[in-house]
Structures are given as structure tokens and as C-alpha cells.
Amino acid sequence: MKKLILDDVSVECLVESAGKSFHPEFLFPDFDPSIISEHEYWLLPRFIDHVSGRLLMSIHTYVIRTPDYICLVDTCVGNCKQRPSTPAWNDRQGPWLQNLKSLGISPEDVDYVVCTHLHVDHVGWNTVFRDGIWVPTFPNARYLFHRIEYEFWQENISLDPAARSGANDECFADSVTPVVQAGQAVLVESDHVIDRRLCFEASPGHTPGHICLNLQSGGKDVAFTGDLMHHPIQVACPDWNSRFCVDPELARDSRYAYLHDCAEKEKLVLAAHFASPTLGKVVPEKKGFRFAAVDE
């Protein structure tokens, strides 16, 4: 997406990887192919590959710049991380950090890192491997973790491997714990306020402490929705959870409430995995909602 300018605030999308991803029947246990046919007029070809039927998705970070600070929202998969359950992510070697620098931002410039939740594809660039250990990538940043989210995953790693929740792949050890040990983690509540522009909002279900981030500037409201929705089809089908949601019923409740709020307030929506053009709005329709992309 193009840089979003809201008065004295800007938002950019820093993509780590994008393209054909899951087959919908894999990601969504309640998948119904007839729904795709019903909504293909806005889903194809932007959000679903017409040939393979696979979902078009992206893994990216949002870069928020204000006159007072730089904030990164979610930090993707990262480099050199051992992720054996997902070969495409295992020991990645990508240019994400160089691309951040091409935006004119060095690691030392970052003031805040916000993780909407602590899944493997949202914490990876929290740390880099240096001198044989994992250290925070952003030495001057405060890393904001929801307290409930942090405590859930901290307890999760103490369980027998067979009893652990998925979508973590040991990332807590290499991408979260080193930040805590360095004294840069700040555990916050779901109503945490960074400043008058930027605040948290609870959206539990996908994970226990999942949060959305709300930005207000230039008369506009922007919703950073994390994994409240993985794909635009969930705007039309909010009862469809991903297979990675730990509390399906709570995830549905959070999604319905947030979609209604986004539609009512005409918020600009920036989700964690929506493919380009990424930016859009939740638009009411007779049977519910659809995602209306804002073109580049």
C-alpha cells in the first residue's frame, strides 16, 4: 500500500512475504465453497488466486511515524529462526531489516514495538542473533506486550509439548524472553494508551490477550486488527475462525463486535495478513459486510 498520511502521522506497510498461502479449507474449519462463489465479485482476483483457489495473503509490519515517536506493529517471522513446522519460515534469510532502513529508519530510531499477540509470525523481528545469543533488534524501544497474552504463553512453554497451544513454534524463547531479559518489555493492560493518538483495544479469542490498535489522527480512525481477521472473507463470514484460534466462540464475538464498530465509525482497516492493497473499509451489505479495498 502507499504511505497513508493522516495530518502529522504516517503509516507504511513493510512486507516480509506475500503471495499464495493456505487453501481456504485448511485455514477455516467451517469453510463453505458456496460462500466464495457468492462473494467472488470482490474477492477475486485480489484476495484469492483464481487458478489454485489458494488465499492471497501477506505477512507484514506496520510502521507508524508521529512527530514524537516511531512505532512498529507486529514484527513478522524474522531471520535465522528455527521454525521446523513451517519450512518456508525455517531459518529465513530475508531483507526485512534492510527494507526498514530503506524507509529511513534504523533499529535505534524505533521507540515502540507493539505485538497484537505473541504468535510466531508476529514476533520474529523482535530479536536478532548477535554474538551467539538473541538480543532485541531495537535497542531503544519499549516492547508492549499485553499482560494476559504474555502470561498465557509463559505458562504454555512450561507444559508438556503435547499439551501446548500451537502457532508458537518455540518463538517465545527466542523472540520474547530475550526482550524481557534485556529489560525492554512492558506488560500492559488491554486499555493501554500510548498517547492521544494511539491506544489498545481488547479483542480476545484468537489468543487470550489479543489486542487491536486504534489510531486517531487527521479526523480519521484507523484500526490495526492483528489476527482478529486473517483474510477479507472473514468480513463477510465473521463466524469463520482460523484453525489457530484458541477460543473459537470468543473469537467470533470479538470479530462481530469489531466489524460493527469499524462499519459504524467508517474506520480504515489495516489487518495483519490482508494482501495488497491491504488498506480498506468494512462496508455494510444486506447480508452483513464486505471488505472494500482502498486502491493504491
Query: How many other CB atoms are there within 10 angstroms of residue 261's CB atom?
Result: 16
And the C-alpha cell for 268? 480504515
Phi, psi torsion values for 217, nearest 5 degrees: -165, 145
In the chain, what percentage of residues exceed pLDDT 90?
92
pLDDT at 163 over 80: no
Give the mean pLDDT of 1-8: 95
Instruction: Classify residue 283 as exposed, middle or buried by CB count within 10 Å of its CB (0-12, 13-18, 19+).
Output: middle
Task: Please give the Cα distance from 190 to 202 (Å, whole number).
Answer: 5
pLDDT at 134 over 60: yes
Name the more confident of 157 and 269.
269
If pLDDT is split at 50, 70 and 90, which confidence band does 239 have?
A: very high
Task: Please give the Cα distance from 160 to 158 (Å, whole number).
Answer: 7
Q: What angle do CA 87, 91, 92 make, to 5 degrees?
A: 85
Residues in CB range of 248: below 8 A, 6 or more apart: 205, 241
- pLDDT for the residue numbered 291: 97
- pLDDT for the residue numbered 286: 83
Q: Where are the domains of the chain?
A: 4-293
Three-class secondary structure of residue 173 per DSSP: helix
Give per-residue pLDDT as tens, 175-202: 999 999 999 999 999 999 999 999 999 9
Give per-residue pLDDT as tens, 14-45: 999 999 999 999 999 999 999 999 999 999 99
Contact in structure between 114 and 213 (CB atoms under 8 Å): yes
pLDDT at 49 over 80: yes
Distances (CA, A) of 126 to 120, 123, 275: 11, 5, 23
pLDDT at 103 over 90: yes
Q: What angle do CA 237, 198, 151 make, to 5 degrees?
A: 70
If pLDDT is split at 50, 70 and 90, which confidence band does 287 have?
A: confident
- pLDDT for the residue numbered 230: 98
Query: How many other CB atoms are there within 10 angstroms of residue 87's CB atom?
Result: 8
Helices (DSSP H) in 81-157: which residue ranges?
96-102, 147-156
pLDDT at 167 over 80: no
Q: Which fold has domain 4-293?
A: Metallo-beta-lactamase; Chain A (3.60.15)
- pLDDT for the residue numbered 166: 62
pLDDT at 209 over 70: yes
Q: What is the DSSP letter of 116?
A: S
pLDDT at 168 over 90: no
* Peptide bond connecting 277 to the previous residue in cis, omega within 30 degrees of 0: yes
Give per-residue pLDDT as tens, 73-98: 999 999 999 999 899 999 999 999 99
Task: Please give the Cα distance from 24 to 4 (Å, whole number).
Answer: 30
Query: How many other CB atoms are there within 10 angstroms of residue 36's CB atom?
Result: 17
Question: Average pLDDT over the chain, rounded to whole?
Answer: 95
Q: Give the residue among 157, 177, 179 at the shortest CA–CA distance from 168.
A: 157
pLDDT at 169 over 90: no
Q: Give the residue among 63, 213, 231 at the shortest CA–CA distance from 145.
A: 213
Q: Give the residue among 269, 280, 296 at the shortest CA–CA distance from 42.
A: 280
Contact in structure between 47 and 274 (CB atoms under 8 Å): yes
